[in-house]
Structure 1
């Protein structure tokens, strides 16, 4: 396969690139991490753009009155955003599959000891109820096991992971509320727009914080002298 660092071909039986000396497995892991990072950035960009676009509807609705408000026009204006959130959800699922593959390997390569079995990297996301709290625990475990952190640094990592997961859950929940909302009255329309803006903001924040954990874990494991 080609080396992710210099592009030279690495024979299957060789673990180091003959041209630059890079570890083949480590550089391959770095390439996957970069791919996940870029996809998350694209997701964040789409969510942020949707939120900014929705913000433009707040002023017209604020200035409207019950006599001038037109539900049909507002419904046509908000309709495409429900489709955008649906597309964002599909993109997040595709990104999530690649993220799980990256996380599976990151678990194996982290020093440990781990609090949970490796199988929870996958099952923690698909089992109902468990998937509300297991994914951030796995990410935190892998992150702190990939480097040497002091107690204060571990707390900082925990805050980042907690913020990421809270943003994920809020983004999903608010997007569903936005899709189920109506614009029959002026108050309903204002509520729907604010729901959409909040959903987009939390989705963008979740993607940005996930980019941070992907970048840091990949960086730590690529620099590590030991690759399990």
Structure 2
């Protein structure tokens, strides 16, 4: 006598986590705009001091220093919190995607969390993970009857690819340029560092907007499936 097959895994609610991530991404974008404004003022003020030291306004420079430090620290704290919540959401989305389309993903569940902090592989493993979750959250994205090979031939979302490219540029590009710019404590180095903040503001903001679209697209697909498949419970 054949044993009964195990019941399908439940597709768990994910909208609440998604909304939390979306709000945090929006806050990241707003803080990046604050950094942009403060950095533009910083370049103007410090460049003026370089050109004419006698024109220095100590109170204005001190206020700019305070805002620059506040914006940077606040941005870092929110960025870390957003990253943590994004990974929590992605892990839930991965579990749901496996329940919706029970085929092997290219990367293990553990790498959903740890691939972001492993050097080298963090340049493309997270992209593959999000790509696979996107594809398996809506089975119509996959070619029929390919089993474990389906993900290798599934069409990839340009939105996910564009988000990932901009996120890499904003994150790793800004870090490299910041290290090169902050070579010493000179006024010229201060100006160079602020200019890096200005250059990478647009990629940061656009990547945050695209991340919102990625999160909401996957969430909408999974919530639609959850509501249409109550038998999974």
1:136 to partner: Cα distance:
2.1
Structure 1 residue 67 and structure 2 residue 52: aligned? yes
Match status 1:43 vs 2:5: no
Structure 2 residue aligned with 1:130: 121
What's the TM-score, normalizing by structure 1? 0.71
Corresponding residue pairs, total: 202
Deviation readout 1:22-69 (Å, 9 max, x if unpaired):
xx964x311111111111111111111221232234445566663347
**TM-score between both structures, scaled by the size of structure 2:** 0.69
Q: What secondary structure is seen at the aligned counterpart in 2 of 1:48?
A: helix
RMSD over aligned CA atoms reads: 3.4
Unmatched 5+ stretches in structure 2: 1-9, 143-153
Equivalent residue, structure 1, for 2:5: none
1:85-115 Cα deviation digits (max 9, x unpaired): 2321121111222211111111111125421
Is 1:223 paired with 2:220? no
Equivalent residue number for residue 214 of structure 2: 213
Question: Cα deviations across residues 102-148 of structure 1 (Å, max 9, x unaligned)?
Answer: 11111111125421111110121232332233222211221222234
My pick for the range that moved more, 96-105 or 151-160, is 151-160
1:40-189 matched pairs, under 5 angstroms: 40-60=25-45, 66-68=51-53, 73=58, 76=62, 77-78=64-65, 80-110=67-97, 111=101, 112-147=103-138, 148-149=140-141, 154-174=157-177, 180=182, 184-185=186-187, 187-189=188-190
| Counterpart contact for 1:115–1:141, Cα < 8 Å | yes
| Deviation for aligned residue 1:75 | 6.1
Q: Which runs of 5+ in 1 are unaligned?
A: 1-23
